């Protein structure tokens, strides 16, 4: 099985999906690793095909390092990847550009799911917007930790832990009762004896509370529009990113161009998935 008899499509599949390294493939085909690299570099993964239609779009960005990431727009109805950009920074303008590009391709997009970027919902006044409930939980834990010490924080964590498991009325009721119970506590202020200036005593708890209060109108869009099939989290895209990163870890150290090609091939395959 000399190098001239290698089927580029099969070689690409063995490299990208079956986790074979250059050395393993070279041994398998009786050629040098350089030959394997050259053939992989010359191969163009087939472009996926999808017919534009009605799509609930889940969108998010993942990174490898500080200035190298990929922004993905995924259809929650079919599970297909629709559009992606390689990015240095995640911006609202790029998300707006992506949705506009998809609509220009013929997609009807009545609803979006995202992880909570400030200012993003206001850019889509004509669409239903769902904030990922899982990311809201992460935000609260960032402020009060996974093991809060105060009674108020413990109670708030217990309520937020139910966010993905309960309905709108129940969550709003529990949160409203907590706010009423701890209103005075949240308003407590401490005065700096040196400057005479005061600040909120329980700043981190207050930040967690304000985050929930600010995002509450977007946390149950899926519940208010149950017929639209809107996911309540971005888990669909988060799991997809995890699968992609596991694949790339099998090929550590490759150049950016080859990495990009693997990423594109991964997304194109999803675009054509039945």
The model's pTM? 0.86
Mean pLDDT, rounded, of the chain: 91
* Cβ atoms of 219 and 131 closer than 8 Å: yes
* Cβ atoms of 82 and 102 closer than 8 Å: yes
The angle formed by the CA atoms of residues 151, 152 and 153, to the nearest 5 degrees, is 95
Give per-residue pLDDT as tens, 114-136.
Answer: 998 889 999 999 999 999 999 99
Nearest C-alpha neighbor of 237 from the set 54, 48, 58: 58
Give me the residues of the chain with pLDDT under 50, please: 1-3
* Cβ atoms of 90 and 67 closer than 8 Å: no
Q: Report the pLDDT value the prediction gives residue 9, as an integer from 0 to 100.
A: 85
Q: Report the pLDDT value the prediction gives residue 21, as an integer from 0 to 100.
A: 81
Radius of gyration of the chain (CA): 24
Other C-beta atoms closer than 10 Å to the C-beta of 155 total 16
* Cβ atoms of 104 and 96 closer than 8 Å: no
Q: DSSP code of 251?
A: T
């Amino acid at each position: 099985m000399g190098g001239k008899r290698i089927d580029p499509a099969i070689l690409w599949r063995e490299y990208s999906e079956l986790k074979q390294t250059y050395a393993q493939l070279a041994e398998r085909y009786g050629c040098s690793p350089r030959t394997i690299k050259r053939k992989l570099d010359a191969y163009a993964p087939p472009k996926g095909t999808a017919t534009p239609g009605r799509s609930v779009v889940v969108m998010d960005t993942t990174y490898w390092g500080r200035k190298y990431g990929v922004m993905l727009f995924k259809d929650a109805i079919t599970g297909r990847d629709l559009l992606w950009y390689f990015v240095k920074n995640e911006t609202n303008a790029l998300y707006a550009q992506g949705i506009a590009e998809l609509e220009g391709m013929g997609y009807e997009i009545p609803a979006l799911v995202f992880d909570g970027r400030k200012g993003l919902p206001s850019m889509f006044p004509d669409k239903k917007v769902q904030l990922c409930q899982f990311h809201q939980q992460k935000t609260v834990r960032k402020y009060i930790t996974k093991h809060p010490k105060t009674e108020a924080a413990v109670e708030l964590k217990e309520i937020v832990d139910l966010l993905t498991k309960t309905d709108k009325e129940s969550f709003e009721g529990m949160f409203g009762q907590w706010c009423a119970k701890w209103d005075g506590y949240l308003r407590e202020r401490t005065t700096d004896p040196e400057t005479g200036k005061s600040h909120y005593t329980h700043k981190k708890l207050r930040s967690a509370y304000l985050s929930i209060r600010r995002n509450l109108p977007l946390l149950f869009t899926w519940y208010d529009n149950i017929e639209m099939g809107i996911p309540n989290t971005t888990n669909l895209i988060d799991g997809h990113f995890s699968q992609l990163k596991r694949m790339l870890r099998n090929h550590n150290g490759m150049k950016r161009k080859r990495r990009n090609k693997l990423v594109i091939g991964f997304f194109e395959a999803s675009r054509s998935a039945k």
